[in-house]
Structure 1
Amino acid sequence: MRAVFGLVLIVGVALAGGAVMMAKNYISAYQTELARERAARDAVVPTVQVMVANRALRYGETITAEDVRAVRWPKNAMPEGTFTSAEALFPIEDEPRFVLRAMEKDEAVLALKITEPGEDAGITSRLERGMRAFTIKVDVASGVSGFLRPGDRVDVYWTGSTRDAIEGGRGELTKLIGTNIQLIAIDQTAGEDIDGTVIARTVTVAALPQQVAGLAQAQNTGRLSLALVGADDDTVASAMDVDQRILLGIEEDTQPVAKEKKVCTIRTRRGAEVVDIPIPCTN
């Protein structure tokens, strides 16, 4: 009897110990999961609603409510000019908005990439206050071999003869007449999503009225060439004039020419002989 009691006691102690270990493991796992959940909650970034493109949008297209959708966007990484609701994007129902810059699917819709409500998507919407659009004729050489795109910046050079403008002009001269001028259209295309190389016949630039006058005069009196400015280049090219002498490194003779002394005379007759007599010059 005592043996049976002892065996039952041993089994009871073993079961109690097992129960304690199971409870300890459960509590430890619960505490680990709770700590993990708290860490995940602390790592959550605050978000706000942002309107994004529901499909790829290209220049000139009308953007509608079906073309956008709302997503959650990290609050600390919101691009400038986003729209937080469809009402903000389409404040006036009967006045559509047009795409100015291409957007891919799920890209945030920004104010600078679309027109104002009811505004046309022509190049007038891309002109800043005080600027004017001016068209320059180009070819494969002067147009940088077709690598120009709307939105690029260029330096403009004029090559022409100075003989009619400057007395004693020495033939053709190349002069920098405009720096960092922005292109707003290539031929009839104002969108930046041009595929492949396009050999343009005209480019349209945005310039101040005074620059437009200079470009018009330069285009009528000579040839214009464009030099593409790098995307991250913030330098401004300095004014320069290059003619054939500078190009070939020929130095101009600047030595003073000795003036021939002026002699004044009067002619008189002495009998049958005519004599020239020197006298002081009065003028």
Structure 2
Amino acid sequence: MNPADLQLGLPSPRELTGFRIWDSYFTPSHAHPGPNGGDRLMTDIERSLPAIRKGRFEKLCLFPHVGIGTTSDAAFEKTARAKPNLVLRPFKRWPKLLLGMIQLNPNDVRASLDALNRWLRDGPMLGVYFPGGGPGSLTCTHKNFEPLIKRIAELKGVIMQHTWNKTGGKHGPGESTPAELATVAARFPEQRFICAHAGGEWQRGLRAVRATPNILVETSGFDATAGFIEMAVRELGPRRIVFGSHLPSRSLGTELAKVTAAQIPATAKKRILGQNYRTLLGLNN
């Protein structure tokens, strides 16, 4: 047998295919696509393909930088603004595989509103990602988020908000917690939010968003721990959880096993691994 064909503890290829996996959190070259505008990103996607194929993923969502100050590289930011085809390069290379949500910079509301019109209103992006670090980060309760969320809601986009609870408190001024996201989401009940990483410390995170039905939680970013998915299903229901792999910086087996090895019905696994995300995006075909 070819070593590449070994499943290494994963479910069988047939079972994985049956799950119809859509990955909501694909992070190749997440902080910067490369000094020339994308070669590092393309290389990172290429090296992720064996894991993507082994997991039988149908779609993955990545979060491109679009030149509005989400990196600290002024030259790249200028290039991305002037050459939008650089942003589209991976989507043109893998059109049947990749989905996109642009990284927004709430520190620059005007540029972010312009980017929403360019990339969501006019396509092809499906939503936005608010980072938890770097020059584009800002705590999600800040007043700058209000006009951005209103416009995203008008465009029917999805918001992925990075969240993390840290022992000892926040390590940076731009970080957000699930509790803060719940405060914001309660003010915009028609807008759908995804709480990335369930806040890291998932027990606190799940409880923080439990009473806010327009928040779904995403599963990646922390080591697999027994009971996470079971508690998420118990507290939120199986329709409010979406799978994320965090490839290529996280292990395929670690992230998939959070769901596939959970003690929940097979129908719930199928929802979490793809159906919920397709429904959220309006692509449930």
Give the structure-1-normalised TM-score: 0.23
Structure with bigger gyration radius? 1
Q: Which has the higher strand share?
A: 1
Q: Which has the higher helix share?
A: 2
Structure number with higher relative contact order (C-alpha < 8 Å, ≥ 6 residues apart): 2
Give the structure-2-normalised TM-score: 0.22
